[in-house]
Structure 1
Amino acid sequence: MEVLGYFASLFIGISLGLIGGGGSILTVPILVYLFNVNPKLATTYSLFIVGLTAAFGAIRHYKMGNIKVKSAVYFAIPSLITLLLVRKIVLLRIPEIITITENYSVKRGMVIMVLFAILMVLASYSMIRTQKSIFNENQIKPLHLMFIGAAVGIITGFLGAGGGFLIIPALLFFAKMQMKQAVGTSLLIIGFNSLLGFLGDVINGVEMDYIFLLSIAFIAGIGIFIGTFLSKKMDGAQLKPIFGWFVLVMGIYIIAKELFL
């Protein structure tokens, strides 16, 4: 299963490079189901793997002129604030066993995976739905970007998901970007948020296997170079719905596995 996990890690980077998101949607299930990592720890690992991979991709997209810094700032600041609040306050207070009623309780790991799967199903909608926009600096809606940024920060903090599936539609709709600009700017935001969120966990004293982390990040890094190269040859907007259907199937599978199998 670990061999399959390392192979699957390549697609974390390919997804980020091609469509600017989806990498974190894959990372947590890969870590939990193929590497047997505890779900809570998997959210921390995901922040590092996705953050580092997205940062490499952002550098390449910056050189290609695909990053709009003004929109990234509007989005990143509120998302970072909510991310750190969730990681430092909320997540630490969730018990290992969550009591629902007097006779019924569930494990925290199962709750995280089910919530993540629901997120995957919702994310698949924004991926499957196609939308075309033209970037215009004067049409940026800062309050809308800041509000969605705060929501993405909560998701990133709780589930270790970069939120590209929310960032991309927001940049397309509220900042009127073209798809490749939204991809590059999304990678910058994801890299910034995820790495700082991971740093917060390091400060909190979370114990981690750094050799394992770096090995996964290295493979995902190769993937993002492949994805970025392919993005020059292929239309990411056309690939996004295909990936959306894949995410939908994976989300339904995880819900079925955690609740019924």
Structure 2
Amino acid sequence: MSSLVLALAAGALIGLALGGLGGGGSVLAVPALIYLLGFTPVSATTAGLVIVALTSATALSAHARDGHVRWGAGLLFAAAGIGPAMLGSALAAQLPAGALQAAFAMVAAVAAVRMLRPGPEDSDTRRIRPGHAAAAGAGLGAVTGVLGVGGGFLAVPALVAVLGVRMREAVGTSLLVITVNSLAALALRGGTADRLDWGVVGPFAGAAVLGAWDGRRLAAKAQPKTLQRAFALALLAVAAFMFGDAVV
């Protein structure tokens, strides 16, 4: 099967997961790039950032039109993550491939476990805790920079618990945070980005964007909890395989 067909198929599936679940789907982009398309871990995380940035920015525009983005809270959260995202991006280029792959596997496992647990409830408080917001934003930025993932599975609960953002707004606001962090991380990966196979990355990203729109319609017809549980179990299997491959 050609690389183009694989890129389109993988991108469409990841887009469906993103659109159907509201976050977490981008975690599969890096494994797909490594194992299906032959990217190195460093190149895969860079390509993952491109895919995450484009997909998140597209989805952000739709949520913004619906009025589901808290711009002030989101920009505060994102601002704390810009520096760590850039530092994490620089660090990723220096890490051994096995270490980067093992770290990604552990984060993927955390994402799966987080998705299997009940989601956060809407918070009644609206008081922003600047210290907590800065710590959570910095942690998310570092994860985005090093591993090339959006981190929606971490951003949404943090926005609800730390900033008191309601659940529906947290999903939209997390896309703002992810977009900013991804672009910040990409700013320090210019050399790596130049060496990417854009004939593969471009169709992959395009299919992910289109798949995300279809994922919204899928979510309206299927039980969200069933979709989330199935995706989480698949992600756990991918994490186990990646970790075993990294340490062998």
Aligned-residue identity in percent: 32
Contiguous gaps of at least 5 residues in structure 1: 95-107
Matched AA of 1:121: A
Contiguous gaps of at least 5 residues in structure 2: none
The verdict on how the C-alpha distance between 1:235 and 1:150 changes in structure 2, with shifts beyond 3 A counting, is farther
The verdict on how the C-alpha distance between 1:184 and 1:229 changes in structure 2, with shifts beyond 3 A counting, is farther
1:38 Cα deviation after fit: 0.9
Tell me if the contact between 2:30 and 2:148 (Cα under 8 Å) persists in the aligned partners: yes
How far apart, CA to CA, are the structure 1 residues paired with 2:52 and 2:226? 23
Mapped pair 1:121 → 2:123 = no
1:133 Cα deviation after fit: 2.2
Counterpart for residue 236 of structure 2: 248
1:56 Cα deviation after fit: 0.3
Q: 2:208 aligns with which of 212, 220, 238?
A: 220
1:70 Cα deviation after fit: 2.1
1:31 Cα deviation after fit: 0.3
For 1:6-155, list aligned pairs within 5 A: 6-88=8-90, 90-94=91-95, 108-134=96-122, 136=124, 138-155=126-143
The verdict on how the C-alpha distance between 1:168 and 1:236 changes in structure 2, with shifts beyond 3 A counting, is farther
Mapped pair 1:174 → 2:176 = no
Deviations 1:52-108 (A, max 9, x none): 0110001011112221112211210111111112223x33444xxxxxxxxxxxxx2
RMSD over aligned Cα, in angstroms?
2.4
Counterpart for residue 104 of structure 1: none
How far apart, CA to CA, are the structure 1 residues paired with 2:120 and 2:47? 34
The verdict on how the C-alpha distance between 1:155 and 1:122 changes in structure 2, with shifts beyond 3 A counting, is same
Tell me if the contact between 1:144 and 1:174 (Cα under 8 Å) persists in the aligned partners: yes
1:190 Cα deviation after fit: 1.1
Tell me if the contact between 1:113 and 1:258 (Cα under 8 Å) persists in the aligned partners: yes
How far apart, CA to CA, are the structure 2 residues paired with 1:62 and 1:205? 29
1:224 Cα deviation after fit: 1.4
Q: Secondary structure at the match of 1:65?
A: coil
1:135 Cα deviation after fit: 5.0
Tell me if the contact between 2:15 and 2:212 (Cα under 8 Å) persists in the aligned partners: yes
Bigger mean CA offset, 154-163 vs 18-27: 18-27
1:116 Cα deviation after fit: 0.6
TM-score of the two chains, using structure 1 as the length reference: 0.84
TM-score of the two chains, using structure 2 as the length reference: 0.88
The number of equivalent residue pairs is 246
The verdict on how the C-alpha distance between 1:78 and 1:236 changes in structure 2, with shifts beyond 3 A counting, is farther
Matched AA of 1:18: G
